[in-house]
Amino acid sequence: MFDINQRFYRYSEYLTRKFGSKVQKISVNTGLSCPNLDGTRSFGGCIYCNNEGFVPSYSNKITPIPDQIDQGIIFFERKRQYQYLAYYQSYTNTHTSPENLRNLLMQSVNHPKIVGIVVSTRPDCVSPEIISVLKEVHQIKPLMVEFGMESSLDRTLKLLNRGHSYEQLCSAVERSAQAGLDVGVHVILGLPGELRDEIIGHARAISKLPVSIVKIHQLQIVKRTKLAKLYREDPNYVQLIGWEDYVEICCDFLEILRSDIAVDRFASQTKPELLEVPYWDGVKNHHITHLVQNRMVERQSYQGKHWE
Ligand code: SF4
């Protein structure tokens, strides 16, 4: 159970419990693609996707992974972080053969300052052989796997051109957890066509799964995406949520979310030059976290209050 005064279970607390002290993620780029972009599943990609939006400047796919980690450590040691997780973040990091995946992961595992691995992927890219490799690496250093879930509604997944169903997400989460891995899911609040009750319903769906971590994002419309085009053609295509309403939605979401699921974040920030809308008047991720906590205090509430 988390400290009730904090109102929700923070990812930083989860990591401290797991690793004994503060840890910092370092993004590494494998150069792997995504089946939803390279034609394995589709060429179009998810309608909101522009990978330029989340590749950090120190991560470069032509740099060997151990060098990317060293560059990340130099960047973060200014902030006095001494334990690191290798974060396989961009695109789909299990979209390769089991042999190549093992090779890519072992390059981080063998780095002396890496204490654990986080692998981000899609629910349709975890065959039994891939899960065996993840499990094998996990036996050397803790490995957490993150899936892009985005929504628990198949109609939304279809509209987003995700190329997988909610059932596939459930199966991937169950099989990963059965292999002993801690599992995280990413969800986007405010997707086109979703009503408020449906948005909150994602918390109920997540809480029924063996999930340890949730990463929450607001819907951002990023330039040079299909969604940006749809929005420009018809601004009513998306019901944009202001930050004040978004804070309330996050509180409602937390009240349903199981209390042992750590919350990685409530919002993300696309690079300003890539953001089409919403601007949120300069309100940043850490402001949203404080606002949610303060609002939960005002509501005399806490994570899991309404979870059965
Ligand atoms: S799965 Fe991820 S990388 Fe692939 S198209 Fe969708 S958002 Fe982009």
Render each residue's pLDDT in the chain as its tens digit; 308 residues: 889 999 999 999 999 999 999 999 999 999 899 999 989 999 889 999 986 644 444 555 579 999 999 999 998 887 776 899 999 998 999 999 999 999 999 999 999 999 999 999 999 999 999 999 999 999 999 999 999 999 999 999 999 999 999 999 999 999 999 999 999 999 999 999 999 999 999 999 999 999 999 999 999 999 999 999 999 999 999 999 999 999 999 999 999 999 999 999 999 999 889 999 988 888 999 999 999 999 999 999 999 999 97
Given this model, what pLDDT does residue 175 score?
98
What is the spatial distance between Cα 162 and Cα 168, in angstroms, rounded to a whole number?
A: 11
Given this model, what pLDDT does residue 54 score?
45
Name which of 219, 136, 216, 161 is nearest 184 in CA terms.
216
**CA–centroid distance, residue 255 to ligand 1 (Å):** 29
Residue ranges and CATH numbers for the domains of the chain are 4-298 (3.20.20.70)
Residue identifier of the C-alpha nearest atom 2 of ligand 1: 91
Q: Best mutation site among 51, 55, 93, 191 for ligand 1, i.e. most ligand atoms within 8 A of its Cβ?
A: 51
Are β-strands 221-222 and 275-277 bridged in parallel, bridged antiparallel, or unpaired? antiparallel
Q: Best mutation site among 52, 122, 222 for ligand 1, i.e. most ligand atoms within 8 A of its Cβ?
A: 122
Atom of ligand 1 nearest to the CA of 35: 4
Name which of 267, 276, 269, 265 is nearest 8 in CA terms.
265
Q: What is the signed CA dihedral for 103, 144, 218, 3, rounded to 10 degrees?
A: -150
Residue identifier of the C-alpha nearest atom 6 of ligand 1: 46
Q: What is the signed CA dihedral for 298, 304, 307, 308, rounded to 10 degrees?
A: -120
Residue identifier of the C-alpha nearest atom 3 of ligand 1: 91
Distances (CA, A) of 71 to 60, 63, 241: 10, 10, 37
Given this model, what pLDDT does residue 58 score?
54
> Is cis: bond before 278, omega within 30 of 0?
yes
Given this model, what pLDDT does residue 53 score?
45
Rg (CA), the chain: 19
**CA–centroid distance, residue 298 to ligand 1 (Å):** 37
Residues lining ligand 1, Cβ inside 6 A: 34, 36-37, 45-46, 49, 51, 91-92, 122, 148
Atom of ligand 1 nearest to the CA of 162: 6
pTM flag (> 0.85): yes
Token pair recorded at residue 265? 């974040």
Q: What is the signed CA dihedral for 60, 65, 66, 70, rounded to 10 degrees?
A: 30
